[in-house]
């Protein structure tokens, strides 16, 4: 069962409410939101309504994680919850899946950053080798920042989170002030049933919400984690949900659906209509800051998650060693190496192909971790005394579980296959690292039976 892995000294507890909030918001608001109007345009009004469905589901997930963080305020977040509630193997699978999702997220967000930058530096998109070198350089720069100190990384996160929100709010306000209701899309332009259309759109939208759980991971660095983390994670979800809905409405009320469908930069298109070339530049800078903050947050998770698993004895010991600055240097170096390999292997597909594949992998891996954590909550609730609060928590847990499954079903067979394959790759590590349990001899079992 779970050992006490919250061994950081008080000197390393440098993350208060705003830094944890910035981590969750910064990790979630990344590259996804800037392409969503184009991806959702074929689904009409049902595409817009998927923001509400995904938002409601994410609120359920956040409330479940808030309860789990109050029960177990330790570094590791999702991994610790599954390990404590379902055992070592389930915990390992969750930790492994989440680490994989962070690695693929780092790779995909780095590609998104270079994609936005290529609008002003064309050679990044025209020559794959140049773009690849730029991606690798960016990733190792952010890894260096995280190796230097958790405090510096978290301060950087607060700054980039605030700077990325400002352009989005500006676009939302101007779009709603100058809105043209006649530009709203038709109800359901697809040949799918309403439920099938919403399901498909919700799976796309979920990429824009992934990351809110990151607030639970670095608990060992958080001041009063049992209070700070639940407040920060709920506040971050509400912040993201309101911002996403306002911005999406603003874009759809400014640009016709026919133009959105073919646009590779829908936010830039809307900004040009509202503010001219200056607006396009502002939104591009906002996109760069947004992806940079998301990249930093996911890199932080790449070091924290394997450290938590290693402290529980299921990953090589070197992953749990901290530098004098309190950072998991070895885990960050290994993560950087794996991300570099992922980029080199997928960059031949081009910017968009590599981005799409890695995004889908990251989304599904995270959703699988969500599902197991929802099941773990049932284990804890079973031990609670009957009460109205317990009944509400049971309903909440069921809602989180059902919603996670709903999203997983929308991923498609190919992505599910690759995710299952990645889980199998991790199991040999679990088998090699897990300490053998002491088996009872026949004599000792007979003695227990006799004494009973």
Q: 306-320, 389-403, 434-448: which has the minimum mean pLDDT?
A: 434-448
Residue 244 lies in a domain: yes
Range 340-366 average pLDDT: 72
HEC profile of 144-212: HHHHHCHHHHHHHHHHHHHHHHHHHHHHHHHHHHCCCHHHCCCCCCCCCCHHHHHHHHHHHHHCCCCCH
Range 313-342 average pLDDT: 86
pLDDT of residue 443: 45
Global pTM reads 0.74
Using the structure block, give the residue that is written with the tokens 């996109």: 287
Burial of 249 (0-12, 13-18, 19+ CB in 10 A): middle
pLDDT digits (tens, 9 = 90+) for 160-218: 777 777 878 888 888 888 877 877 777 888 878 888 888 778 877 887 888 777 777 66
Q: Look at residue 347 and tell me whether its pLDDT is greater than 60.
A: yes
pLDDT of residue 219: 67
Are 202 and 50 within 8 A, CB to CB? yes
For residue 239, the Cα-to-chain-centroid distance in whole angstroms is: 15
Distances (CA, A) of 179 to 159, 171, 327, 452: 30, 11, 48, 77
Residue 309 lies in a domain: yes
Spatial separation of the C-alpha atoms in residues 264 and 79, rounded to whole Å: 37
Q: Name which of 78, 85, 250 is nearest 178 in CA terms.
A: 250
pLDDT of residue 358: 74
pLDDT band at 5 (very low <50, low <70, confident <90, very high): very low
Spatial separation of the C-alpha atoms in residues 35 and 244, rounded to whole Å: 12
Residue 329 lies in a domain: yes
CATH number of the domain residue 156 falls in:
1.20.1740.10
Spatial separation of the C-alpha atoms in residues 377 and 257, rounded to whole Å: 42
pLDDT greater at residue 94 or residue 414: 94
Angle at 146 between CA 145 and CA 151, to 5 degrees: 95
386: its two tokens: 């009957």
Q: 257-266, 321-330, 389-398: which has the minimum mean pLDDT?
A: 257-266
The chain-wide mean pLDDT, for the chain, equals: 79
Q: How many domains does the chain have?
A: 1
Distances (CA, A) of 269 to 35, 47, 171, 175, 284: 11, 19, 11, 12, 11
- Domain holding 144, by residue range, is 13-430
H or E element, residue 386: none
Residue 445 lies in a domain: no
Q: Look at residue 26 and tell me whether its pLDDT is greater than 80.
A: no
Residue 392 lies in a domain: yes
Half-sphere exposure of 62 (CA within 13 A, CB side): 28
198: its two tokens: 């919403």
347: its two tokens: 């960059």
Determine the 3-state secondary structure of 48 from DSSP: helix
Residue 2 lies in a domain: no
pLDDT digits (tens, 9 = 90+) for 128-166: 788 888 889 999 998 888 887 666 666 766 777 777 778
């Amino acid at each position: 069962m779970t050992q006490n892995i919250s061994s950081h000294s008080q000197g390393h507890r440098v993350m208060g409410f705003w830094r944890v909030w910035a981590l969750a918001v910064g990790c979630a608001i990344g590259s996804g939101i800037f392409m969503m109007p184009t991806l959702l345009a074929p689904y009409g009004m049902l595409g817009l309504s998927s923001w509400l469905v995904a938002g409601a589901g994410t609120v359920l997930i956040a409330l479940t994680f808030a309860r789990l963080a109050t029960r177990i305020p330790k570094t590791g977040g999702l991994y610790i919850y599954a390990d404590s509630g379902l055992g070592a193997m389930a915990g390992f699978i969750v930790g492994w899946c989440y680490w994989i999702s962070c690695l693929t997220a780092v790779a995909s967000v780095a590609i998104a950053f270079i994609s936005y930058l290529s609008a002003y530096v064309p050679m990044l998109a025209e020559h794959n080798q140049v773009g690849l070198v730029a991606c690798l350089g960016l990733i190792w720069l952010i890894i260096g920042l995280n190796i230097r100190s958790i405090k510096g990384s978290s301060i950087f996160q607060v700054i980039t989170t605030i700077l990325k929100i400002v352009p989005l709010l500006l676009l939302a306000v101007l779009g709603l002030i100058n809105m043209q209701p006649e530009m709203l899309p038709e109800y359901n332009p697809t040949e799918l049933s309403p439920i099938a259309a919403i399901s498909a759109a919700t799976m796309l939208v979920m990429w824009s919400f992934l990351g809110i759980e990151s607030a639970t991971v670095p608990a060992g660095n958080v001041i009063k984690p049992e209070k700070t983390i639940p407040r920060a994670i709920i506040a971050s979800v509400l912040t993201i949900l309101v911002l996403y809905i306002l911005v999406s409405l603003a874009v759809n009320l400014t640009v016709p659906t026919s133009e959105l469908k073919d646009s590779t930069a829908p936010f830039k298109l809307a900004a040009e209509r509202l503010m001219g070339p200056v607006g396009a530049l502002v939104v591009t800078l906002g996109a760069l800051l947004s992806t940079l903050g998301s990249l930093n947050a996911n890199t932080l998770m790449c070091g924290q998650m394997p450290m938590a698993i290693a402290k529980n004895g299921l990953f090589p010991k070197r992953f749990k060693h901290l530098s004098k600055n309190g950072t998991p240097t070895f885990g960050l170096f290994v993560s950087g190496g794996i991300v570099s390999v992922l980029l080199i292997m997928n960059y031949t597909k081009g910017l968009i192909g590599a981005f799409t594949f890695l995004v889908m992998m990251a989304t599904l891996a995270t959703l699988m971790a969500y599902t197991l954590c929802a099941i773990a909550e049932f284990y804890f609730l079973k031990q609670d005394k009957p009460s109205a609060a317990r009944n509400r928590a049971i309903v909440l847990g069921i809602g989180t579980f059902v919603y996670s499954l709903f999203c997983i079903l929308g991923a498609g067979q190919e992505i599910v296959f690759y995710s299952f394959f990645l889980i199998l790759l991790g199991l040999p590590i679990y088998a090699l690292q897990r300490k053998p349990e002491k088996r009872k001899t026949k004599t000792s079992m007979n003695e227990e039976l006799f004494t009973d």
